[in-house]
Structure 1
Amino acid sequence: MKNLGKFIVRNVKVITVILILITLVGIYLSTKIVIRPNFLDLLPKDDPYVEVYKKATKNFKSVDNIIIGIEGDKKNIINYINNISEKLKAMDHIDAIYYKQPIEFLEKNLFLLTEDKEQDFFKKIYTSTNIVDFFKALNAIFEENKNGYKMSIQEKYRFEYMLDSFKNLLESIDKNENIEENLKSLLFGEEYLLSKKGNFGLIIIRPTISSNDIEKVVNLVNSIENTIKKEAEKYNVKAGLTGTLVIARDEMVTIERDMSIATIVSIFLIITIFMLGFKSFRYMILAVIPLILGIIWTIGFTQLTVGSLNIMTVMMAAILAGLGIDYSIHMISLFIELRNKGYNIKNSIIGIFEKNIRGIIAGAITTAIGMGIFAISSFPGFKEFGIVLSSGIIFTLLASIFGLTILLYRYGNKYKDPGKIFSINIDISKYRKVILLITILLLIFSFIKIPAVEFEKDMMKIEAKGLESLELNQKILENFNFSPDNTIFINKNIFEARELYNKLKKLKVFYQVDSIVPFLPDKNLQIERIKKAREIKNTKIVKSDLDLNQLKLEINKLNFNILKASISLNLLGYKDLGNKLKEITTSGVLQKIIKKDKDSLNLIQNKIINTILKLKNNLNDKEIITQENLPEDIKSNYLGSNGMIITTAYSNGDIWNSDYQKEYFKELKELNSKDVSGTALIFLKVVQISAEEGKKILLITLLFIFIILILDMKSLKYAILAMIPMILSIIFMLGVMGWFGIKFNVVNIIALPLIIGIGVDDGIHLIHRYRREKNLKTTIFSTGKAITMTTLTTGVAFGSFILSKYRGFAGFGVLLLLGVIFSYIITIFVITSILSYEKPKSKKSNDKYLFKKRRA
């Protein structure tokens, strides 16, 4: 190593030119780097979910939706929806806007689209000649059916909505207002996408861009957000955005903000620590320059090899700031120490290479291995992380060895005695028994709770707190009983799509299945149903006089049927539905209708029958529905290029909840569909692979580092000693996680190899210096200061992540800070306590480069 120092000193000019050229190339390449925060990029390209997702984005204009959530009064929400939808249609990159059902199409083709078991009810409604017939038809809803009210999850939600619509219809009949609107709502559902209470509305936007084009996504989401919020004020409603693309935008903005703050804070604190430790602005600048060079080279190399930064590698600059500065600290600390002893600049530099560089290189290599093992992972997220961070460690090491050496040679003529700050001057042998006893106790307490450490399966818990997009996600789940995080299926033709749809309807985990199938019933079924539609349409309605006694009997019968249905539903466990029915009878609305005078009832009857006449006259009784004659706004939702059909299923629970996931994946596995994907599935796959790969990589990393330590130290004893800080720090960290309920996640799992590198690094420096000095007190005093400073700089660099709004980064910072602190404490106290049991050996000074009374 001494010869390397001499070589650099002899070739300062040539090496300087080479470093400048490399840096200029690095700066040029750095300007071309892009950030990809999409989790899709973390999975292998041949992963089934990725392949299906890419196939979907290729064959359909859009897979990911932007959802507008609107809160306020029902009338205001509807007015706002109508207004804002027109404005949004005029915007670029928007393919379609879905804000209400195709009611006209449903009205026209009711009997072609309705399932056979519901045909009798609609027939009774459409052939009603008076209000008595109408109530007879309503009675049919609550007469005991063959299934005894046993319902699938989708049927339950539809029945629940029907009960709300039924109650609203009765109330409108009682008040003699909005009867037509509420009758249509009962028959065809709510026209607009409104919650049951009507105080929350949705608009679903289908853009023409995917989450992979992040720059366009950010611009589009920002544009939509500005428009909807500005208009919301005019209608006295509150509007916000959610959906996959919105969350991707929020992640991008949050990550950029967090990285900027973390970098600024860490640099400021590192400078402060440096100034306190060396009391020299000059040496602080000299230390930072190689770090900056190393980061520039790394970004340039990343652009050449990977091409971009993902959600993991985007932390690269902050991580390197914490690790890369360590090499400069160790070099400058010894340089100033030798200068204070009387060495000139040249011999001080050679002294660094003789005493310190081997330990620095060994520490850097072990840290680089800790990062580099990730490169062998089949998980692209980890693979890229390994490539970027391991190369970054090597580049910052090279920048320090060559760049800092040249800087010290040119500008190391001025220095001052930094004093004893950060120096450690203790006789460890006096406290070694107590230290080792405390260590054993801490190990016992840690092992007790390590089994309690879990992997976080809720991806939303690594997102930033307070994001409107995430809050709206939860509100949609509460108001509509479905999660916006959907699952998509792709089929080649309508026959496959129909088979899939029938299977999906039977699954308990899906609230709603959005498919083209309900709009395209089987051709033979349609032929039979169109005959019924023709028969009903040709049935003449002759208005008859109102029979009050008959009406009273029918309403009382309805009241009895409702009570009976309520009891049945409660017995079957549908207490919420049973209570809804009970509320109708206890409200007295049916008795109020009975007590109305004949004139009022005649007016109500006319409104009901006139509405039915309009609906009946509009019925399609001639033409069956085909894929070709479907309305374009319906067809475009489901049909892609090459005749492919997309089906979207919305889960009825929080897909990020680990308990719900078990049932979700169980049913999805039983479905045995190959062409399935979705953003949520991709997220969950990332979590699964992270947990599996993390364990495998951790074991391989430990093995490789141990081999490197044996080769470096040529001693099994010292290799094991160097491993102890890392092993104990991980055990203690896991213990803290277990005691305080901290979970691993897809982001903070990468703290483990960093802790391995940091823990080994401290031990390597201490043991290398001890073996050279053969004096523990001298080793602790000299190298201990450098280790203390590197611990502080690394700690503040990683600790700055705790300030992040993105909780994944904050958790990452917490684990790294714990690892750094434990590694330092164990190195300084535990390792030195063990070394203190070795018999001291006298050693003559090898400071043969000392020049008394002569300083350059």
Structure 2
Amino acid sequence: MSLVDRILGSIARSVCKDRGRWAVVFLSIALIASFSISRIQLTLDAEDFLPKKPPRDRHFQQQVLEQFGGKAPVVIVFRSNKKIEARNIAPLIEAVAGKLNAVEEVKKVTFRLEPKLKAFIDAELPRMLLLHLNPKDLNLFSKKISASTMKTLILPTEFGNPQPEGVLNRDPLGLFTLTGPYLFDLMTGFRIVLVDGYFAFRGEESFFILVEPKDPIRKAEDAKRITTKIDAVLNEVRADPSFESLFKEIDATPIGRPYIYASTFDTAMKDAKQSLFYSVASIFLLLVLFYRRLAAPLLVMLPVFFGLLIIAGLSALIFPSVNLFSLLFAAVLAGLGIDFSIHIGTHYWLHSHPSRPREEAVVGAVVRPGRGNLFSALTTAAAFSALAFSQYRGIIQTGLLTAIGILVMLLSAVTFFPFFISFSKKPIETPKAILRWTEAFIFLSERFPKRGVFVWGLLVVIATFGVFRLGYEDHPWSVAVRGNKEAEEVLNLDKRVGMSFVPILIVSRGETETEAIEKDRRVAKILAQIRKGAGIAFFQSVTSLLPEESQQRENIAFINANQSLFSAERFRKDFHGILKEGGRDSEYLLGPYTDQVAKTLGPPRQTPIRLEELKEWGLRPEIDRHLGTIGNDPLAVTYVYLTQFPWAKGVVKRFTSRFEAAGGGQLDGVFLAGEGIGSESHANLLKKEVIQAGSIALILVTLLLTVAFRKPSSIALTLLPLLCSVWITLGVTGFLGYELNFLTLSVTPILLGIGIDYGIHIMERYRKEGSVRVVLKETGSGLTATSLTTAFAFLSFCFSESPAVREFGIVASIGLGICLLASLHLLPCIFESRRSRKV
């Protein structure tokens, strides 16, 4: 008898002889675990989905977000089926904004152009706008306001009007096309307009408020805190009698990342509870069908409940908080943990007899599958522990908790389960359906062993094409937000507006403020070049307020050299004359349009704009938003708003690749920051993680197989069906079009850990019996039952509201089915093929 058998036998005898003492031990453990569970903190932390960064880099990026903002805001959209008049909604917006400003978790509320910035744009910017234009655009501007060009653009010709009627009425000279980008970037954004000073969406005039959190939202509890207070503010204003009639026509909808976070937490919590319930319920019903009575399934499941209680208690002691996606694996542990009890129970009820001493029956039931149970638990735990080498904190926690949980389930099965089965001796027969199932594999492996091996080889070849079609999710948060209603609302808003409200920050660090600004200026030039191709809606930089001095001097010189051309009086006279000659003298063109252009023409500014001068005009808050210091390092920050939500597939990667290709990656002291960053290398990292986790799991499993079997041929034969199963599963995943993500990353080590159990049990029994028929009859039924229970545990994820969780359940259950087939068919076919060659 081996050492393992002696230890397990001693434990079983002790349980049978000293049931009173063991009852006290079990009760004490349950009480301690229950007390520990009361302290458990469930969370959903953004850091769990992001690759680990060097602590210094992470700290610096957090400082950037805290000082310069750039955090994902809440957008409160005011919509109506009718056109909203600004004068009617203004009191409502002011009331909501005022109450939000008093919320502790809110840093800034933006709903209109800042008064000082608006005064600057109205009074100061027009007379210095020409200094913002690059020399090429300034030269084009001068040509457009010349008398000859104005005649060409306005007067009809023999070929008809040179400009369409709408353009003639709005901007006949096309000057707004040249100056517009400077005004848009400075004032608002791509499809955002000002209506009586309030922010609205172009084309629909639905107004909105931006609410920026004081701190980056990293945890779901933080998201719940701020969203609860925002909802309370909106409900308080709705209850105000003065706004009652207005709210009948206007809908105020808050959306944004904090709401996505809060909703994802609720969904994950619901999925975790639901999956565990469905897992336990389906396994129980399956065991009822298997044993055809209620007592046996209850006995088999008792150690699972006891094990889950201990695991929950341990998780509260090991980790300060437990991620909800880790909690999902409680359903997996229910399916895995019951395997040990099924093997022990099967042997107990098969070999027990009323005339046989209870102690002997219990010891035999624990010892007979003991080595198989031990090494299957160790290999499965080793495979899950391979996830501890991941770059993702959430995956690390999931791997460690599951690995520890499997070992706890084994201990529960060899102690808590024998304690209860020692009271039962009535034999239970294996269902005939299971017997027919195993008889079919006995027939196939004995009659067609070589053909069976060929079929599996062909499946591996076909699966290879699917493996090469595997995709990887671009953004770590895709698992959490895919299928999320709040996330879809944000995406729809971004699509409608044509921009995302979550900025990417480009930080330029220099030894002096001037050096930081010059680096920021080079960044702005690169962004202007790649704007369309990189998916940039607009960007805001301090250089939007402060043009390069050499450019300003060149423009001043050009304007002075063409004073008559840039004369406001000359422009009024010529433009009005041409309008009257062409019959286009509308009130708008003769009045507001002329005045707006004339403001930019004179009197011309003769000195470059200075930074201190801008501060004196009341723009210090706007400048401080772009300039500052962290430690001793002066920083200049540019805010980049993309046309799509940064979490959308390929969006950030598109921007970063274009920025680096244009030279942004070579700028010393320039780096990207913000909550939108984190996905540009995620797909590649995820691919490495799959290979790494699979390789480490395979190495650990092989080492344990070496200890278990020692003989190289036995190790190779046990691994071969497993590797084929994993490869075919990955191929099926590729053919189904599922992308590997935060969750499906763990499928490979899961299959390596669970699938090897089947091979170990088959190999262990074959080494003792030497007969495929005996092995499949004795072990095949138990493997089929345990495989079904584990598969049902994974199938419980199919009821999840999250598409990513559903896909994980489908892939894992398919993989388990393939692993079972390989163990019951491929491995016996190999045994029979080898035996026939020897004969």
Alignment TM class, shorter chain as reference = 0.7 to 0.9
CA contact (8 A) 2:772 2:828 kept: yes
Which aligned pairs between 1:175-574 and structure 2 lie closer than 5 A? 190-191=193-194, 192-199=198-205, 201-224=207-230, 234=247, 236-237=249-250, 240-310=253-323, 312-339=325-352, 343-409=356-422, 411-413=423-425, 416-417=428-429, 419-423=431-435, 424-426=437-439, 427-428=442-443, 429-457=446-474, 462-463=479-480, 466-491=483-508, 494-495=513-514, 496-497=516-517, 499-507=519-527, 508=530, 509=534, 510-519=536-545, 550-553=578-581
CA contact (8 A) 2:382 2:697 kept: yes
Q: Aligned with 1:388: secondary structure?
A: helix
CA contact (8 A) 1:241 1:469 kept: no
Q: Distance in 2 between matches of 1:698 and 1:469?
A: 35
Q: 1:421-446 CA deviation, whole Å, 9 max, x = no partner?
A: 53345133135354334323322322
Tell me the equivalent position of 1:24.
31
Q: Distance in 2 between matches of 1:119 and 1:3?
A: 88
Code of the residue aligned with 1:329 in structure 2: it is: I
Distance 1:698 1:548, change over 3 A: closer
CA contact (8 A) 2:387 2:746 kept: no
Distance 1:453 1:547, change over 3 A: closer
Tell me the equivalent position of 2:175.
none
CA contact (8 A) 2:706 2:715 kept: yes
Query: Is 1:650 matched with 2:649?
Result: no
Tell me the equivalent position of 2:824.
828
Gaps of 5+ in 1: 128-132, 144-162, 174-183, 557-590, 841-856
- Count of equivalent residues: 760
CA contact (8 A) 2:508 2:517 kept: yes
State the shift of 1:449 in Å: 3.3
Name which of 671, 692, 699 aligns with 2:664: 671
Distance 1:107 1:702, change over 3 A: same
Distance 1:545 1:732, change over 3 A: closer
Query: Is 1:33 matched with 2:40?
Result: yes
In terms of mean alpha carbon deviation, does 422-431 or 730-739 score higher?
422-431
Distance 1:699 1:122, change over 3 A: closer
State the shift of 1:54 in Å: 2.0
Q: Aligned with 1:67: secondary structure?
A: strand
State the shift of 1:517 in Å: 4.2
CA contact (8 A) 1:121 1:140 kept: no
State the shift of 1:749 in Å: 1.1
Q: Normalising by the residue count of structure 2, what TM-score does the alignment of the two structures yield?
A: 0.78
CA contact (8 A) 1:322 1:794 kept: yes
Q: Distance in 2 between matches of 1:626 and 1:790?
A: 74
Q: 1:573-609 CA deviation, whole Å, 9 max, x = no partner?
A: xxxxxxxxxxxxxxxxxx7x45x7xxxx5x9745667
CA contact (8 A) 1:121 1:141 kept: no
Name which of 39, 42, 46 aligns with 2:54: 46
State the shift of 1:674 in Å: 4.9
In terms of mean alpha carbon deviation, does 631-640 or 422-431 score higher?
631-640
Q: Aligned with 2:375: secondary structure?
A: helix
Q: Aligned with 2:216: secondary structure?
A: coil
Tell me the equivalent position of 1:810.
806
State the shift of 1:372 in Å: 0.9
Tell me the equivalent position of 2:178.
none
Distance 1:187 1:674, change over 3 A: closer
Q: 1:354-408 CA deviation, whole Å, 9 max, x = no partner?
A: 2111101100100001011222345434332332221111112112222212222
Code of the residue aligned with 1:98 in structure 2: it is: T
CA contact (8 A) 2:11 2:415 kept: no
Q: Distance in 1 between matches of 2:682 and 2:211?
A: 27
Name which of 87, 93, 114 aligns with 2:96: 87
Q: Distance in 2 between matches of 1:618 and 1:460?
A: 54
Code of the residue aligned with 2:270 in structure 1: it is: R
Code of the residue aligned with 2:23 in structure 1: it is: T
Distance 1:283 1:679, change over 3 A: farther
CA contact (8 A) 1:461 1:807 kept: no
Which aligned pairs between 1:661-700 and structure 2 lie closer than 5 A? 661-662=653-654, 664-668=656-660, 670-672=663-665, 673-700=669-696
Distance 1:72 1:637, change over 3 A: farther
Q: Distance in 1 between matches of 2:768 and 2:186?
A: 89
State the shift of 1:455 in Å: 2.1
Code of the residue aligned with 1:518 in structure 2: it is: S
Which aligned pairs between 1:734-745 and structure 2 lie closer than 5 A? 734-745=730-741
State the shift of 1:345 in Å: 2.7
Distance 1:39 1:297, change over 3 A: same
CA contact (8 A) 1:686 1:746 kept: no
Percent identity over paired residues:
17
Q: 1:29-70 CA deviation, whole Å, 9 max, x = no partner?
A: 333333443342343241676344322244456723223355
State the shift of 1:347 in Å: 1.5
Tell me the equivalent position of 1:625.
613
CA contact (8 A) 2:99 2:233 kept: no
Q: Distance in 2 between matches of 1:16 and 1:136?
A: 102
CA contact (8 A) 1:279 1:418 kept: no
In terms of mean alpha carbon deviation, does 58-67 or 700-709 score higher?
58-67
Tell me the equivalent position of 2:180.
none
Which aligned pairs between 1:95-244 and structure 2 lie closer than 5 A? 95-102=107-114, 103-111=118-126, 114=129, 116=131, 118=133, 139=150, 170=169, 190-191=193-194, 192-199=198-205, 201-224=207-230, 234=247, 236-237=249-250, 240-244=253-257
State the shift of 1:488 in Å: 1.8
Q: Aligned with 2:54: secondary structure?
A: coil
Q: Aligned with 2:688: secondary structure?
A: helix
Code of the residue aligned with 1:664 in structure 2: it is: T
State the shift of 1:72 in Å: 4.9
Code of the residue aligned with 2:733 in structure 1: it is: M
State the shift of 1:462 in Å: 3.5
In terms of mean alpha carbon deviation, does 4-13 or 69-78 score higher?
69-78
Q: Distance in 1 between matches of 2:754 and 2:269?
A: 26
CA contact (8 A) 1:733 1:818 kept: yes
In terms of mean alpha carbon deviation, does 646-655 or 364-373 score higher?
646-655
Q: Aligned with 1:245: secondary structure?
A: helix
CA root-mean-square deviation = 4.6
CA contact (8 A) 1:52 1:677 kept: no
Distance 1:517 1:696, change over 3 A: same
State the shift of 1:21 in Å: 2.9
Gaps of 5+ in 2: 155-162, 173-182
CA contact (8 A) 1:73 1:198 kept: no
Distance 1:641 1:456, change over 3 A: same
Query: Is 1:76 matched with 2:84?
Result: yes
Q: 1:517-573 CA deviation, whole Å, 9 max, x = no partner?
A: 43456799999999999x99xx998999999753244xx6xxxxxxxxxxxxxxxxx
State the shift of 1:259 in Å: 1.6
Q: Aligned with 2:821: secondary structure?
A: helix
Q: Aligned with 1:452: secondary structure?
A: coil
Tell me the equivalent position of 2:179.
none
CA contact (8 A) 1:267 1:321 kept: yes
Distance 1:750 1:55, change over 3 A: same
